[in-house]
Amino acid sequence: MAVLLIAEISDGELSMDATAKAVAAAKALGDVTVLAAGSSAAAAGEAASKIDGVSKVLVAEDPMLGHRLAEATAALIVSLAGDYEHIVAPATTDAKNVMPRVAALLDVMVISDASGVVDADTFERPIYAGNAVQTVKSNDAKKVITFRTSTFDAAGEGGSASVETISAAENPGLSTWVEDKVAESDRPELTSAGVVVSGGRGVGSEEDFALIEKLADKLGAAVGASRAAVDSGYAPNDWQVGQTGKVVAPDLYVAVGISGAIQHLAGMKDSKIIVAINKDEESPIFQVADYGLVADLFDAVPELIEKL
Amino acid sequence: MKVLVPVKRVIDYNVKVRVKADGTGVDLANVKMSMNPFDEIAVEQAIRLKEAGQAEEIVAVSIGVKQAQETLRTALAMGADRAILVVASDDVHKDIEPLAVAKILKAIVDEEQPGLVLCGKQAIDNDMNATGQMLSALMGWSQATFASEIAIEGDKAKVTREVDGGLQTIEVTMPTVVTVDLRLNEPRYASLPNIMKAKKKPLDEKTAEDYGVDVSNRLEIVKTVEPAERAAGIKVGSVDELVAKLKEVGAV
């Protein structure tokens, strides 16, 4: 049994956390070959070759693979698919864009956001915003899977897989990249951070969201937001934690002014320790919090920043 | 340009879901069903394109049980011009998989020849996030997923996408499939006169067999369970107590 794992790469750099977590999930399925594809991918391929459990790395460098455009990336993966029973990737927005396309081209169903591996055909995945967990058994000859990284521990480093260079498939020429608007930040990345501080509608404005950021910086944390806060324009969408945003499982999650809608809980309830600060003691967030503080966030958060 | 908008009938997002005792899925009998919220955003965007003179006709499609007719009437009341219902099951508990849905949609796209297909990025029931990408693959078209901004200029569409690190803008060749994200727009409510008018708009009824598509599942459901409950912890009385507790467990 052989597994092709699509490495998560942005701007030529390997996202070690997401890729190593997917490797941990995929190891149980068979020999793992990592595909590092991009306009520049050699360094990322080299980094991936050191992940424990990786037996081989394929590096495909081509300008048309830059920015992970779906059509060209899917064409490359499909051209390699013949040798593998499982084609997998961490469930990032890039993979969610590409993998269903790959599955349809192979005439198989995609298994999105798998949170558990039962056996080579059988996987667990959350449905209904995490309100139910379904076990599904694939009847397809090939399995195309994205793994929800928050439920797997990253594979360690220390491997020394061989690295081979391959060429890209034909360019379908259907799309071109225009620009990226990536927020520059010194904070840790949201999905891999050890501590996350999130603000909700209770924060009240974009200006006051600075208070959430200040607490995050004090804790060396990533900043998150509830969908309500994003919808209200207090925070950018790439900070959104929840069913329609990112799923996180840090060691410490601090929810400030967040009521705890089901859709938000779906994105953070696997966190090790949850702290909730909210002035409404009836808020559902307190039902999942390890430590709840019923207080006005504008009093409690500055005090917390001072005392930490 | 014609715009095709697939819409799905799903459990209303405000309803608390309950897993069926036999583990086959979630109980959908006698619960409130609505249009998938992301699909509402897709319908809204199609209407805005029509209002801006960039689209002539909006065709809404739903694939599932007969009751999806209500979802299509909602799309018609919002402003779609006509609708196609594809009955693919008579059991409300059977979820037609994205691959089968994409195959049926492909057959409809071949017939209708739209210049643009606007889909929701995911359905809030199976959370697959796949149908749009699969349709695009089967058509051999371009795709632009998770859209927060769409600008159509001639035979190209410039689409801004919500991605992990922020926003990405790409240009895709038309015809194309665009899947929409939350911040693209705020869907309108259908007015009462429009709800009345929608009853007179054309709604064609077809079946999956009409399109020669096998809708049997590729993924067999082994079981469905409630997620592990997280027990509530304690309430602390002050910031000092909170800091002390966090220090005690080594969290800070």
Q: Collect all residues of chain A within an 8 Å Cβ-Cβ radius of residue B251.
A: 251-252, 273
Q: Looking at the partner chain, which of A126, A128, A173 has a beta carbon nearest the beta carbon of B26?
A: A128
- Residue A180 phi/psi, 5-degree rounding, is -115, 140
Mark yes or no for CB contact A92/B249 under 8 Å.
no
pLDDT digit string, tens, across residues B149-159: 999 999 999 99
**pLDDT at residue number B252:** 86
Q: Is residue A234 predicted with pLDDT exceeding 80?
A: yes
Mark yes or no for CB contact B168/A180 under 8 Å.
yes
Task: Give the chain A residue nearest B178 (alpha carbons).
Answer: A97
Mark yes or no for CB contact A104/B233 under 8 Å.
no
Supply A221's token pair: 């944390």
Please check whether residue A278 is in contact with residue A261, taking contact to mean a CB–CB distance below 8 angstroms.
no
pLDDT digit string, tens, across residues B62-105: 999 999 999 999 999 999 999 999 999 999 999 999 999 999 99
For chain B positions 34-73, those within 8 Å of chain A (CB to CB) are none
Mark yes or no for CB contact A180/B167 under 8 Å.
yes
Partner A contacted by B119 (CB < 8 A): no
Confidence bin at B230 (pLDDT 50/70/90):
confident
For chain B positions 77-106, those within 8 Å of chain A (CB to CB) are 97-99, 102
Helix axes A93-105, B98-112, angle to 10 degrees: 70
**pLDDT at residue number A56:** 98
- How far, in Å, CA of A66 to CA of A11, rounded? 8
Partner A contacted by B248 (CB < 8 A): no
pLDDT digit string, tens, across residues A244-258: 788 899 999 999 999
Confidence bin at A263 (pLDDT 50/70/90):
confident
- How far, in Å, CA of A39 to CA of A129, rounded? 35
pLDDT digit string, tens, across residues A60-74: 999 999 999 999 999
pLDDT digit string, tens, across residues A114-145: 999 999 999 999 999 888 999 999 999 999 99
Task: Give the chain A residue nearest B231 (alpha carbons).
Answer: A288
DSSP one-letter string for A28-41: GGSEEEEEEEESS-
Which residue range forms the structural domain that includes residue B62? 2-248
**pLDDT at residue number A244:** 78
Q: Looking at the partner chain, which of A125, A230, A287 has a beta carbon nearest the beta carbon of B232?
A: A287
pLDDT digit string, tens, across residues A19-36: 999 999 999 999 999 999
H-helix segments, B63-209? 68-78, 98-112, 131-139, 192-198
What CATH number should be reported for the domain holding residue B89? 3.40.50.620
Average pLDDT, stretch A102-112? Answer: 98
Consecutive H or E run containing A16: helix A16-26
For chain B positions 159-218, those within 8 Å of chain A (CB to CB) are 161-173, 181-183, 217-218
Mark yes or no for CB contact B168/A177 under 8 Å.
yes
Distance from CA of A252 to the nearest CA of B (A): 7
**pLDDT at residue number A138:** 98
pLDDT digit string, tens, across residues B43-63: 999 999 999 999 999 999 999
- In terms of Cβ atoms closer than 10 Å to its own Cβ (0-12, 13-18, 19+), residue B29 is exposed
Mark yes or no for CB contact B26/A231 under 8 Å.
no
Residue with token string 């269903």: A100
- How far, in Å, CA of A34 to CA of A82, rounded? 15
Q: Strand runs (DSSP E) across chain B, as ranges? A: 2-6, 9-11, 33-35, 57-64, 82-87, 116-120, 142-153, 156-163, 166-173, 176-180, 203-207, 219-225, 234-236
Helix axes A93-105, A70-80, angle to 10 degrees: 50
Supply A180's token pair: 């990226």
Partner A contacted by B148 (CB < 8 A): yes
Residue with token string 């969610």: A96
Q: Collect all residues of chain B within an 8 Å Cβ-Cβ radius of residue A132.
A: 17, 19, 25-26, 224-227
Partner A contacted by B224 (CB < 8 A): yes
Cis peptide before B98 (omega within 30 of 0): no
For chain A positions 200-239, those within 8 Å of chain B (CB to CB) are 219, 227, 230-231, 236-238
Among A185, A211, A207, which residue's Cα sits nearest to residue A199?
A211
Average pLDDT, stretch A107-112? Answer: 98
Helix axes A297-307, A209-219, angle to 10 degrees: 20
Q: Looking at the partner chain, which of A74, A134, A292 has a beta carbon nearest the beta carbon of B233?
A: A292
Please check whether residue B167 is in contact with residue B160, taking contact to mean a CB–CB distance below 8 angstroms.
yes
Q: Could you give the number of structural domains in chain B?
A: 1
Q: Collect all residues of chain A within an 8 Å Cβ-Cβ radius of residue B179.
A: none
Distance from CA of B41 to the nearest CA of A (A): 14
Q: Looking at the partner chain, which of A101, A243, A289 has a beta carbon nearest the beta carbon of B137?
A: A101
- Residue A219 phi/psi, 5-degree rounding, is -95, 0
Mark yes or no for CB contact B219/A289 under 8 Å.
no
Which whole-number Å values give the CA distances from A74 to A81, A96, B49, B145, in the listed order? 10, 11, 30, 14
**pLDDT at residue number A1:** 81
Q: Is residue A196 predicted with pLDDT exceeding 80?
A: yes
Distance from CA of B231 to the nearest CA of A (A): 6
Domains in chain A and their CATH numbers?
Answer: 2-166 (3.40.50.620), 190-307 (3.40.50.1220)
